[in-house]
Chain A
């Protein structure tokens, strides 16, 4: 089958029932390479705490593994029913689930048992897709098959999201239509799936007055085109490799970021364009950026990239810093947006030249730190689901 230029940006997070250290919801994701597909399962275990966590973890693990292996849905549901331990208090084994299976970046199959219906925002508007009803082992299950379009945003959630604010701000929680209206306002901004997830959960937490009455989980899937971003960091170890490194770099499709003073100087010389540093300190700790015609972004090196790494670590964790980098105009925020939001494929061109002036033990910018930075940053970007290549010169 022909492959297209689309890919899925996936982000999920949870907030826990107040007072619980374990979450009773669980998200599991499996990608298969041979027949490119991604299976995401969001399970919500009965109750909260340890029992709920075990139920939802088992459910999502079993379903994602079986579906990814190509087994029938009926078999998956039967296996779940036969496997889940029965709660001694309630006498039932119970975990609701939502399965999103994306095949070839062309179709999405959505199978749900009792979770709130997955929201689909298409072209920034709510799109009510048709579902078929199935009965498997006495369980009422819905199923939908959707042809994907660029810009489609799927929002899957546990019922703790819809119940946010019950008895505090709303009598019956906020309705699905309220959640849709709330999320629609953020779509034109171009936030990533992870950030959209964080925005929705922050709002839930606010509606719960910071004391969630249930576990709440959101999983957002954004269908977007692949975008290549190339980033050069450091001049080559052997000066005679300069032209080779630069011509390889600039022949790459996509956006180009150049980091480092000496690096941007040689890049500007290669392009025969002036290098014009800016003098505005938009973030007091980050050196100003510069402009070179033909390069999308020119920044200082180690200090700026260290900050990008900090943002990356925060993003793959709690994502509490997105407000800083998602609108900042300093070099680090701009790199963060290009790498975290715009890019799906990232090529690093890392030069191993040692800057003698930086090898002062009093300066936190020496050669080893620089190499560590690149390694850690590429690990973080891989954790975000990006395809990363690192080339050394």
Chain B
């Protein structure tokens, strides 16, 4: 089970964490990956400059509402093997 954690703190919220969360929810549903990916939220990770911060398991990535699909295809899908 992979865990994707999206920062929903003040700064990331203003940079679009809601759109990132909804984008990931839609992509997970479309690819039938609800059994393989757990999506969660977290408050501030202390890296506001690089928001929206997203953790894939323990590794941190910067994602924006525009790049969420690219992030899903290039980072999330390959890691599922």
Using a CB–CB distance below 8 Å, which chain A residues touch chain B? 260-262, 264-265, 275, 277-279, 281, 284, 287-288, 290, 300-303, 355, 357-358, 360, 363-365
User: Which residues does chain B contribute within 8 Å of A303, judged by CB atoms?
Assistant: 10, 13-14
Q: Considering only CB atoms, which chain B residue lies closest to A301 in the complex?
A: B10
- A363–B15 alpha-carbon span in the complex (Å): 9
User: Which residues does chain A contribute within 8 Å of B42, judged by CB atoms?
Assistant: 277
Q: Considering only CB atoms, which chain B residue lies closest to A302 in the complex?
A: B10
Given contact pairs A277-B40, A303-B13, A303-B14, A287 touches B49 in the complex (Cβ within 8 A): no
- Does B2 sit within 8 A of A, measured CB to CB? no
The reply to whether B40 and A279 contact each other, CB–CB distance below 8 Å, is yes
Q: Considering only CB atoms, which chain A residue lies closest to B9 in the complex?
A: A261
Task: Give the residues from 1 to 39 in chain B that come closer than 8 angstroms, CB to CB, to chain A.
Answer: 6, 8-11, 13-14, 17-18, 21-22, 25, 39
Given contact pairs A281-B21, A284-B18, A357 touches B43 in the complex (Cβ within 8 A): no
User: 15 A-B contacts, Cβ less than 8 Å apart?
Assistant: A260-B10, A277-B8, A279-B41, A281-B18, A287-B8, A288-B8, A300-B9, A300-B13, A303-B14, A357-B47, A357-B48, A358-B48, A360-B48, A363-B14, A363-B48
User: Which residues does chain B contribute within 8 Å of A265, judged by CB atoms?
Assistant: 43-44
Given contact pairs A279-B6, A279-B21, A284-B18, A365 touches B11 in the complex (Cβ within 8 A): yes
The 6 A-B pairs at the shortest CB distance, nearest first, are namely A261-B43, A357-B48, A261-B44, A277-B41, A261-B9, A287-B13
User: Which residues does chain B contribute within 8 Å of A290, judged by CB atoms?
Assistant: 41, 43
The reply to whether B17 and A287 contact each other, CB–CB distance below 8 Å, is yes
User: How many residue-residue contacts, CB under 8 A, span A and B?
Assistant: 70
Shortest distance between the CB of A50 and any CB in chain B (Å) = 49
The reply to whether B6 and A287 contact each other, CB–CB distance below 8 Å, is no
Q: Considering only CB atoms, which chain A residue lies closest to B6 in the complex?
A: A279
The reply to whether A357 and B46 contact each other, CB–CB distance below 8 Å, is yes
User: Which residues does chain B contribute within 8 Å of A284, judged by CB atoms?
Assistant: 18
The reply to whether A275 and B14 contact each other, CB–CB distance below 8 Å, is no
User: Which residues does chain B contribute within 8 Å of A278, judged by CB atoms?
Assistant: 41
- A365–B10 alpha-carbon span in the complex (Å): 8
The reply to whether B11 and A363 contact each other, CB–CB distance below 8 Å, is yes
Given contact pairs A265-B43, A277-B42, A288-B41, A357 touches B11 in the complex (Cβ within 8 A): yes
With A275-B43, A278-B41 given, can you name 17 additional A-B contacts, CB distance below 8 Å?
Answer: A261-B10, A277-B42, A279-B8, A279-B21, A279-B40, A281-B21, A287-B10, A300-B43, A303-B10, A355-B48, A357-B47, A357-B48, A357-B49, A360-B49, A363-B11, A364-B14, A365-B14
User: Which residues does chain B contribute within 8 Å of A262, judged by CB atoms?
Assistant: 43-44
Q: Considering only CB atoms, which chain B residue lies closest to A362 in the complex?
A: B14
- A137–B8 alpha-carbon span in the complex (Å): 69
User: Which residues does chain A contribute within 8 Å of B44, judged by CB atoms?
Assistant: 261-262, 265, 355, 357
**Which of the listed residues B6, B8, B17, B18 has the most CB atoms from chain A within 10 Å of its own CB?**
B8
- A355–B48 alpha-carbon span in the complex (Å): 10
Contact among A264, A281, A364 with B43 in the assembled complex (CB-CB below 8 Å): A264
Task: Give the residues from 52 to 76 in chain B that come closer than 8 angstroms, CB to CB, to chain A.
Answer: none
- A355–B46 alpha-carbon span in the complex (Å): 9
Q: Considering only CB atoms, which chain B residue lies closest to A275 in the complex?
A: B43
The reply to whether A287 and B21 contact each other, CB–CB distance below 8 Å, is no
Shortest distance between the CB of A293 and any CB in chain B (Å) = 16
Shortest distance between the CB of A262 and any CB in chain B (Å) = 6
- A277–B8 alpha-carbon span in the complex (Å): 8
Q: Considering only CB atoms, which chain A residue lies closest to B49 in the complex?
A: A357
User: Which residues does chain B contribute within 8 Å of A279, judged by CB atoms?
Assistant: 6, 8, 21, 25, 39-41
